[in-house]
């Protein structure tokens, strides 16, 4: 569905030494417990995404036909500085619509998703579009990639990070497989996004598994903390997966960066 978007290149300041001194001391953790918790998170998330794959796929297919789709793809292509033959990792590729579109433009794409049902649908779509032999599809965890160092020219990670149990771990892995000078495009919902309208359910027993509710300014600060440089950012104010509209007024969409990030359905960050 068409969406209004706005762009800004203003960089967030890093955490100051004074702010660090005010932080509480690190908490001692049990690595085995963390590993078990992450495994349980991923298993719940895999089951949830397998269950919603049909709805996600239908929505993604409709979005692929939206009037602003070419403009969106042009912006992604330019933001990632892609050329024909560039190697791209589509992390959290879902049912494959963006991976297929990038492959049709000449990129060599690897699509990875936690959900086997998503990858099954991606394989079917790629075959239908005639690019079945041009994309490598995998079921797996983006924190544990099989590639050696520095193989990708760019990483496309749209609406991925809010579903990860270990965001810093994924950022380190992305840095490992990205070539020097390569770029990452990532997006997460804003605080007032309709995607996060049920965020309160995380406080209920067993409520809303598989969400960390990462916010745009949190993602940017994590990127800076782990040595990335923010190059660009923009918001989109379309509907969510279930058709819930974003009621943010046009004035908010033209407001300062913090208000744009808070109200956007998704906020995209480009980093290197």
Span 107-133, pLDDT tens digits: 999 999 999 999 999 999 999 999 999
How are the residues of the chain apportioned to helix, strand and coil, as percentages rounded to the nearest 5?
A: 40, 20, 40
Edge to edge, what strands does the sheet with 135-139 contain?
5-8, 230-236, 266-271, 178-188, 152-157, 87-91, 108-113, 135-139
Q: In CATH, which superfamily holds the domain spanning 5-12+57-271?
A: Vaccinia Virus protein VP39 (3.40.50.150)
Span 65-79, pLDDT tens digits: 999 999 999 999 999
In the prediction, which pLDDT does 232 show?
97
Q: What is the pTM of this model?
A: 0.88
In the prediction, which pLDDT does 238 show?
83
* pLDDT range class, residue 46, cuts 50, 70, 90: very high
In the prediction, which pLDDT does 2 show?
41
Span 207-258, pLDDT tens digits: 766 889 999 999 999 999 999 999 999 999 987 777 788 887 677 777 899 9
| Alpha-carbon gap, residue 92 to 196, rounded angstroms | 18
Proportion of the chain above pLDDT 90, given as a percent: 74
Q: What is the largest CA-CA distance in the chain?
A: 56
In the prediction, which pLDDT does 129 show?
96
| Per-residue tokens: 215 | 């916010």
* pLDDT range class, residue 1, cuts 50, 70, 90: very low
């Amino acid at each position: 569905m068409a969406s209004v978007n706005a762009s800004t290149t203003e960089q967030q300041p890093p955490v100051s030494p004074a702010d660090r001194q005010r932080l509480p001391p690190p908490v001692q953790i049990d690595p085995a417990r963390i590993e078990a918790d992450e495994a349980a998170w991923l298993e719940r998330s895999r089951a949830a995404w397998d269950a919603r794959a049909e709805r996600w796929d239908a929505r993604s297919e409709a979005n692929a036909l939206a009037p602003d789709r070419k403009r969106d793809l042009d912006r992604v292509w330019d933001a990632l500085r892609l050329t024909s033959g560039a190697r791209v990792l589509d992390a959290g590729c879902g049912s494959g619509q963006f991976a297929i579109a990038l492959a049709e433009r000449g990129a060599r794409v690897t699509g990875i998703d936690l959900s086997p049902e998503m990858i099954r649908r991606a394989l079917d779509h790629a075959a239908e579009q005639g690019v079945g032999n041009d994309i490598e599809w995998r079921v797996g965890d983006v924190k544990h990639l099989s590639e050696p160092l520095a193989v990708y020219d760019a990483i496309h990670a749209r609406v991925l990070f809010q579903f990860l149990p270990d965001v810093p771990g994924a950022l380190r892995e992305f840095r490992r497989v990205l070539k020097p000078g390569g770029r990452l495009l990532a997006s997460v919902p804003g605080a007032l996004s309709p995607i996060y309208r049920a965020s309160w359910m995380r406080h209920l027993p067993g409520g809303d598994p598989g969400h960390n509710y990462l916010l745009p300014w949190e993602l940017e600060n994590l990127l800076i903390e782990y040595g990335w440089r923010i190059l660009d950012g923009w918001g989109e104010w379309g509907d969510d997966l279930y058709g819930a509209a974003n009621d943010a007024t046009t004035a908010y969409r033209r407001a300062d960066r913090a208000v744009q990030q808070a109200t956007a359905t998704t906020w995209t960050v480009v980093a290197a």
